[in-house]
């Protein structure tokens, strides 16, 4: 579940995002949310829908190319190449964990890096021109 001090608000140019009403210290778990795990075949179907932008790769073992839909606020954390949070998968409990990587100020938007590592500079799919 999301922490009580988190809330959803509109954010310029990105629709909605996750924000805090309290300061949050670095290395704080702010959310651990259950996920709905789907197969690679189901992922192919989801890739043809709007939900494509809200699912996460779910690969608990080598060669498994499934996905998951996170519950809670997880799908609403916006991407940033200079994210202030990181996300990790807990394959045993079927959850995604969001943790701060630095101190967060009141009112600040909480972001993750969609490319996996919080400091990855790899471009995300919606910024790559085809």
List, for residues 25-39, the tens digit of each pLDDT value: 999 999 999 999 999
- List, for residues 87-110, the tens digit of each pLDDT value: 999 999 999 999 999 999 999 999
Domain membership of residue 109 (yes or no) is yes
Q: So what's the pLDDT on residue 128?
A: 43
* Ramachandran area for residue 92 (φ above 0: left; ψ -120 to 50: alpha; else beta): alpha
Domain membership of residue 130 (yes or no) is no
The residues pairing with 17 across neighbouring beta strands, listed in sequence order, are 9
Instruction: Measure the CA–CA gap between 113 and 22, rounded to whole angstroms.
Output: 22
Domain membership of residue 19 (yes or no) is yes
Q: Residue 14 phi/psi, 5° resolution?
A: -135, 10
CATH number at residue 83: 2.170.270.10
Domain membership of residue 1 (yes or no) is no
Domain membership of residue 120 (yes or no) is yes
Domain membership of residue 94 (yes or no) is yes
Domain membership of residue 90 (yes or no) is yes
Domain of residue 23: give its range: 6-125
Q: So what's the pLDDT on residue 33?
A: 95
Element (H, E) at 42: helix 40-46
In the predicted structure, residue 54 carries a pLDDT above the cut 90: no
Query: Does pTM top 0.85 for this prediction?
Result: no
In the predicted structure, residue 66 carries a pLDDT above the cut 90: no
């Amino acid at each position: 579940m999301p922490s009580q001090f988190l809330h959803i608000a509109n954010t310029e140019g990105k629709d909605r995002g996750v924000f805090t009403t309290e300061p949050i210290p670095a290395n704080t778990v702010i959310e651990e949310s259950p996920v709905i795990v789907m197969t690679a075949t189901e992922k192919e179907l989801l890739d043809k829908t709007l939900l494509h932008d809200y699912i996460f790769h779910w690969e608990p073992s080598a060669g498994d190319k499934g996905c998951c839909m996170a519950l809670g606020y997880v799908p609403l954390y916006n991407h940033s190449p200079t994210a202030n949070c990181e996300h990790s998968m807990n394959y045993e409990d079927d959850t995604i964990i969001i943790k701060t990587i630095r101190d967060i100020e009141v009112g600040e938007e909480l972001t993750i890096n969609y490319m996996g590592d919080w400091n990855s500079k790899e471009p995300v799919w919606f910024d790559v021109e085809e």
